[in-house]
Amino acid sequence: MSDQPLLSLVVAVYNGEKFLSAFFDSIKSQNIENLEMIVVNDGSTDSSAELLARYASEFANFHIIDQANQGVSAARNTGLAQATGLYLAFPDIDDVIYPGMYNRLLEIATQNSLDVATCNGTYVYDDGRPSKKIFPSDKLASTGVLDGPTWLQQALASRKFLHVTWLNIYRHAFIKEQGFTFEHGLRHQDIPWTTEVLLTARRVQYIDETYYDYLIHSASVSHTPGTDDSRIRNSQHYMKILEMLDAINGRYPQQVKRVPACQWQIAKEGLGILHSINNIGDPQKRKAITQELFDRGIWRMIWKNARGLRQHWRLGRRYFRLKRYLAD
């Protein structure tokens, strides 16, 4: 019998002292045979390093990699380069993983020779709002084995799909064959990662079974009112995402013909950029980011990829507003 780990968990840690005990307890409760833990301490300045050293003795195959702070994508890439498991997963340390999640995903992945196995989860809000399923059952039901483009079109067409890595496990050899890595320094880099993975995956299966609580912190950067500078940074991150999505669509033209929603999502994310620009109060800062939008060809890309009367109508209204910003 091979001594290759069945699953490698690649875990990025940055100042995670508040979450690590609960996180590692949740991993122990998974009761996974032949588990490899690759934990990347991404320049933490709190007591994370001490906590990691303490938990290392509680797992049979536990590796700590220390590096200067470079962000979650760089930490994942560091761990990915060291992982040896048959399958890979990338859990976040501040979320809740239910017992049985990884065994269930491994069960369908090994039985059906999957490149990607994925399940459902729950949005949990710390401000008292009621929790809700990430993928509503009436929009996305369990599937049999599909090829990646079929699942991606079905998922994006639901308008309820969330680009995330943490609800999935991936066949390591598939990720390695494709040479996939995470984009350094990019917020929301799960969007291009998931898109390219699913465009190239041959065997994917989704089960509408809830195994993960995604905690939405009301005080987090993503869920608090922004400043002009934060809106500019967010717009620039999404411009980069659109450039990456457009390049991905260009690399896989045959698959994208089967997934018209790949073009729709560029326009959809583009509308988000326009919304951020509209909320910038300083006229000169708003003018500068609007000019960047046109200079980088982002507006042309958004318009080219728009699908349907509704998207074109929404974009058309915003075009004249953008031109007014440039005239300010």
Residue 221: what pLDDT? 44
Return the closest-CA partner of residue 249 out of 200, 201, 204, 294.
200
CA distance 207 to 71: 31
Residue 219: what pLDDT? 58
Report, as an integer, the average pLDDT of 305-311.
93
Domain range annotation of the chain? 7-216, 225-327
Return the closest-CA partner of residue 169 out of 132, 206, 200.
206
pLDDT digits (tens, 9 = 90+) for 236-252: 999 999 999 999 999 99
- The top-level CATH class assigned to 7-216 is alpha beta
Residue 328: what pLDDT? 81
pLDDT digits (tens, 9 = 90+) for 74-84: 999 999 999 99
CA distance 140 to 118: 12
Residue 254: what pLDDT? 96
- Crossing angle between the packed helical segments 148-157 and 190-200, to the nearest 10 degrees: 130
Res 167 pLDDT > 50: yes
Other CB atoms within 10 Å distance of the CB of residue 57: 8
Terminal CA-CA length for the chain: 70
Q: What is the rounded average pLDDT for all residues in the chain?
A: 94
Residue 223: what pLDDT? 46
Pick left, alpha or beta for residue 257 (phi over 0 → left; psi -120 to 50 → alpha; otherwise beta).
Answer: alpha
Q: Which residues sit opposite 124 in a β-bridge?
A: 215
Q: Which residues contact 20 (CB under 8 A, 6 or more apart)?
A: 13, 48, 51, 52, 55, 93
pLDDT digits (tens, 9 = 90+) for 66-108: 999 999 999 999 999 999 999 999 999 999 999 999 999 999 9
More confident residue, 291 or 225: 291
Return the closest-CA partner of residue 202 out of 170, 179, 180.
170
Report, as an integer, the average pLDDT of 30-37.
94
Q: Provide the CA 77 distance to its chain's centre, in angstroms.
A: 14
Chain position carrying tokens 């470079």: 70
Residue type, 103: N
pLDDT digits (tens, 9 = 90+) for 200-239: 999 999 999 999 999 887 655 444 557 999 999 999 999 9
Report, as an integer, the average pLDDT of 145-172.
96
CA distance 186 to 184: 6
